[in-house]
Structure 1
Amino acid sequence: MNALLDAIQMVATGEVLVAILASAVYGMVIGALPGLTATMATALLVPVTFYLSPIAAVATIITSSAMAIFSGDIPGCLMRIPGTPASAAYTDEAYALTRKGQAELALGASLWFSALGGIAGTVALMIMAPALAEMALSFSTFEYFWLSLLGLMCATLVARSSPIKAIASALLGLLVACVGIENPGGVPRFTFGSTDLLGGIEALPALVGVFAVSEIMRAMVSAPPPPLPNRKLGSILAGQWDLTKRFQKQMWRGNVIGVLIGALPGAGADMAAWVAYATSKKMSKTPEKFGTGYPEGLVESGAANNSALAGGWVPALLFGIPGDTITAIAIGVLYMKGLNPGPTLFSEKASSMYALYIVFMLANILMIPLGILMIRVSRQVLRAPRAVAMPLILLLCAVGAYAIGNNPFAVVLVAAFGVLGFVMERNGYPVAALVLGIVMGTMVEQNLVTSLIKSDGDILPFFERPVAAGLAFFTLAAIFWPAVVWLIRRLRPAAAAR
């Protein structure tokens, strides 16, 4: 009880409340601009967090990402252009409702069920994380090695591209994590004589480059969005309570799907939205109505994408393993502010954990009034010319990279990773797997080397403990699954030819 009262006092300060409100408005605007993702919005906030208290810093990450995930639905509903990848799953459905003259219903459903999904995800986080923390206290370096490696492999399995390309991206991320002198042997690796690379490549400049600069490059080579239709909107939340009663089962199913997929390392809100929409269509009594402006899929996937945000914080807070690219950035902020992820965080800094739960709740409650306001002014935001927005964002990327360590070399890294992210996306290589490789590479190597030292080079202890053996089974299955799929595809034509 004392921890909860301390948490309320930590959140009820002017700095934290202003940070929540300012980052909410910022996230709404960034998410509503087509091509500017929630991850990009979060990455650009990192330099600002240097000057904030720990709770205010993490609050900006939580609030801006939740708002951006929702507001990405606005251009999808009005112009058939998803503002964020999480909105892409049901953009056609929402736009079909708009064409039928029900734009208010589509936008209201996105707002209402995103807020309810975020609250449901927060409750799940409050229940799951402390319980799992008790179990995680018994983990040794053997379990942590398999767990971090499993996180990497899960990112390759859930990738929408080829599993081989996803594994290649993850391996490239691990290679980037090897750069520098901060390794168990203390030997400079891949520095090529550069003193700037001795400290390694920080994850945050790489994240800003891959997600922000590459988006700017994509905007330069893509066609401008179509003009916004000129029509006034009516009541935004009218009819939402009827939808809640009519599709109650779909809403709860979307919440569960979002939490479970969000907790899977590397999946994130966009994967949760796609799976929820596909599940809704598969289990619907009227699947033929999907794609014609039917709100059933919109309810389930809208609930899933925001509940996945809270679910992604479960592995991030417990093990330091990002559930998605947003929590990958958040982990860096947590370490920077002394809130080192791990099971002891829930016992040693319980008040800080309660404060994060309160921030999650406030962000999703604040989403409703701010979302209505954002929908009303969306015409002005969506009409922001690219020629103005993109150079301004590029300037923010450069300034933010320099501010991370007052190092001009960080600006070079942001530019280099921007080009790399652009080339990878153009060729179907998922950048999320690259980011996870960079973030988790050090964790994989340190736990591997420490375990080998403890076992005197023996491999058997990696499989002797029951939990380690279970994690090893799932990890090895994830590693060899692409090879099995490839073999099955090769054998099928041969069997059919006989």
Structure 2
Amino acid sequence: MVFAAAGSLYTDGLSLVFNPLTILLIAAGTLLGIMFGAMPGLTANMGVALLVPVTYSMSVTQAIAMLIGIYLGALYGGGIPSILMNLPGTPADMMTGIDGYPMTKRGEGGKALGVSTTSSFLGGIGGALVLAVMAPMIASVAGSFRSQEYFAIALLGLTVISYIAGKSLLRGLASGLIGLFIGTIGIDLVSGYPRFTFGQADLLSGAEFVAVVIGVFGVAELLEQVGKARHGKAVIPQKLDRVLPSWSLLNRLKWVIVRSSVTGVVVGAVPGAGATIAGVVSYGQQTRLSKHPERMGTGEPEGVAACEASNNACAGGAMTTMLSLGIPGDSVTAILIGALTLHGVTAGPLLFEEDPSLVSAIFLSLVVANVFLLIFGLAAAKRFAQVVNLPRHILIPVVIVLAVVGTYALRATSFNVFMMLAFGVLGLVMAAFRVPKAPLVLGLILGPLMEINLRRSLTLNDGDLGATALSFASSPLCLVIFAIALLLLAAPALQRATGRRPAVVYKEEE
């Protein structure tokens, strides 16, 4: 075991983390991260990247501890606007609003935030513990993934469309195909040839994911709210007498949180996967295992818990790969590797031998940051929920301004703002025709991952389709993943055949 020979390891880690300045920096980082995550467009990687220069004068432990606080805070903070306004603060929280926003519309915004905060805390703690105990094991499995396994995982992710398609599988597939098409826009990563850019240099890097998500989910919802305000729809008051989930609710959610935390850690350990895919996979998993799958998407706490526990547990998995192999699990850990390098530390297997106390300090920083996340989240949940009670003529313009500023900040170009507005109109049209929006985003996420790995496999086999197929068939892990995908695709049809109502995860508002 990694820590077996280090009798003073945890003592060294405790002394590095549990001093007043480091604790203060973790608290400040977590609070800043929540603020970044809660503003649409200001993602976790943006927050961490902006604060890296601030850490130059700090010790390596203090620097990485503060950046970890920002990382976890942003992952949690992104769920706040997703729950309250259906406006994901970060891409990782787009699935949270599927059940969180209907809860807010029932006046249960405070309860949804409480579930989100508690699940994020428990998922984050679970991720930190797994990181401490199983880092070498998980990293060795994730590090063995080839193009074939990545393609299989992406294909498995696309099977979630059959669960989030709503009442019409055809409409769900159409939405997914739109997302796959949008994912092809930009420079071909293999040939370098521009595709569907129509002469626009701003499209060479593809459709900006955050602009698409904010447009389809957030702007479309705001446009609908404008119409409802004109028809005199009343604002539903939020029940704020209790934010902390009751013991009975926590008992009901315990296995949801455990399952989603494990999923988040495993997905996070796969290089390049990230919290967004972890949230999608966990939500689909929860829908399949739910006793009442037909309720998912209508405001079930289980949906919020699954997404938020997975998101924060994903950080532990991503850092497992980062520390054990020196490979970033996601874009944020890539920045963290850079921050370590700036302080003269190289992430990888030798780090466990050369500086085990720093590794221990990183584990403990994850735990402390999650504790502050719980404190700040529960303390401010009532204030967050009261935002929804603001008059619509005040709230809607403020949210639109935040969306515009957040989208503009991505690349400091107005093109992203127009892209966001265009996708907002598309989202409104999709809502009018009752086409689910979640499959579009799923196709946009997984399409490029599928394409690049399939083409990479073809290239490695000199374009021979037979040899490429054999390379997939010779991978036991690929065969297992393909078998699971087939079972998941067949499950809705089997449920209909046996009389059990299939899952309806995503329901558009009437």
Matched to 2:400, the amino acid is L
* Range 1-10 or range 113-122, more displaced: 1-10
Aligned pair 1:464/2:502, yes or no?
Answer: no
* Range 462-471 or range 363-372, more displaced: 363-372
Distance in 1 (CA, whole Å) between partners of 2:117 and 2:447 is 39
Correspondent of 1:144 among 146, 150, 163? 150
Q: Call closer, same or farther: CA 1:199–1:26 in 2, change over 3 Å.
A: closer
Report the number of matched residues: 431
Instruction: State the partner residue of 1:267.
Output: 280
Instruction: State the partner residue of 2:50.
Output: 51
Does the aligned pair in 2 maintain the 1:23–1:64 contact within 8 Å?
yes
Matched to 1:397, the amino acid is A
Distance in 1 (CA, whole Å) between partners of 2:113 and 2:454 is 49
Matched to 2:28, the amino acid is V
Matches within 5 A, 1:332-343: 333=332
Deviation string 1:31-85 (CA, Å, 9 cap, x unpaired) is: xxxxxxxxx756567765552229666744532443565898899xxxxxxx944
Distance in 2 (CA, whole Å) between partners of 1:176 and 1:14 is 43
Does the aligned pair in 2 maintain the 1:142–1:462 contact within 8 Å?
yes
Instruction: State the partner residue of 1:117.
Output: 122
Does the aligned pair in 2 maintain the 1:236–1:372 contact within 8 Å?
yes
Distance in 1 (CA, whole Å) between partners of 2:166 and 2:318 is 22
Matches within 5 A, 1:60-139: 60=70, 62-66=72-76, 69=79, 84-87=97-100, 110=115, 113-114=118-119, 117-119=122-124, 121-123=126-128, 126=131, 131-139=137-145
Q: Call closer, same or farther: CA 1:204–1:335 in 2, change over 3 Å.
A: farther
Instruction: State the partner residue of 1:218.
Output: 224
Distance in 1 (CA, whole Å) between partners of 2:189 and 2:98 is 35
SS in structure 1 at match of 2:195: coil
Deviation string 1:269-290 (CA, Å, 9 cap, x unpaired) is: 76677778747999xxxxxxxx
Instruction: State the partner residue of 2:176.
Output: 170
Distance in 2 (CA, whole Å) between partners of 1:376 and 1:434 is 33
Q: Call closer, same or farther: CA 1:50–1:366 in 2, change over 3 Å.
A: closer
Q: Call closer, same or farther: CA 1:279–1:195 in 2, change over 3 Å.
A: closer
- How much has 1:413 moved relative to structure 2? 1.3
Aligned pair 1:381/2:357, yes or no?
Answer: no
Instruction: State the partner residue of 1:188.
Output: 194
Q: Call closer, same or farther: CA 1:108–1:385 in 2, change over 3 Å.
A: closer
Does the aligned pair in 2 maintain the 1:272–1:301 contact within 8 Å?
no
Matched to 2:448, the amino acid is T
SS in structure 2 at match of 1:418: helix
Matched to 1:461, the amino acid is S
SS in structure 1 at match of 2:159: helix
Matches within 5 A, 1:239-278: 244=247, 250=252, 252-259=254-261, 265=278, 267=280, 278=291
Deviation string 1:202-245 (CA, Å, 9 cap, x unpaired) is: 3232233233322322322335554648x995x977xx8xx64x
- How much has 1:415 moved relative to structure 2? 1.3
The share of aligned pairs that are identical, in percent, is 24
Aligned pair 1:420/2:412, yes or no?
Answer: no
Matched to 1:383, the amino acid is N
Distance in 2 (CA, whole Å) between partners of 1:256 and 1:434 is 28
Does the aligned pair in 2 maintain the 1:122–1:310 contact within 8 Å?
yes
Distance in 2 (CA, whole Å) between partners of 1:142 and 1:379 is 45
What is the TM-score when the length of structure 2 is the normalising length?
0.64
- How much has 1:419 moved relative to structure 2? 1.9
- How much has 1:451 moved relative to structure 2? 0.7
Distance in 2 (CA, whole Å) between partners of 1:274 and 1:89 is 16
- How much has 1:398 moved relative to structure 2? 2.2
Q: Call closer, same or farther: CA 1:221–1:259 in 2, change over 3 Å.
A: farther
- How much has 1:449 moved relative to structure 2? 1.0
Distance in 1 (CA, whole Å) between partners of 2:415 and 2:144 is 41
- How much has 1:448 moved relative to structure 2? 0.7
- How much has 1:13 moved relative to structure 2? 8.0
Correspondent of 2:205 among 190, 196, 199? 199
SS in structure 2 at match of 1:192: coil
Matched to 2:147, the amino acid is T
Does the aligned pair in 2 maintain the 1:70–1:110 contact within 8 Å?
no
What is the TM-score when the length of structure 1 is the normalising length?
0.66
SS in structure 2 at match of 1:366: helix
Q: Call closer, same or farther: CA 1:57–1:384 in 2, change over 3 Å.
A: farther
Distance in 2 (CA, whole Å) between partners of 1:401 and 1:307 is 26
- Where structure 1 has 5 or more consecutive residues not aligned to the other structure, the ranges are 31-39, 76-82, 283-296, 321-329, 491-498
Does the aligned pair in 2 maintain the 1:86–1:270 contact within 8 Å?
no
Distance in 2 (CA, whole Å) between partners of 1:151 and 1:353 is 32
Does the aligned pair in 2 maintain the 1:8–1:355 contact within 8 Å?
yes
- How much has 1:375 moved relative to structure 2? 5.2
Does the aligned pair in 2 maintain the 1:255–1:307 contact within 8 Å?
yes
Matched to 1:122, the amino acid is G
- How much has 1:440 moved relative to structure 2? 2.8
Q: Call closer, same or farther: CA 1:109–1:9 in 2, change over 3 Å.
A: closer
Instruction: State the partner residue of 1:35.
Output: none
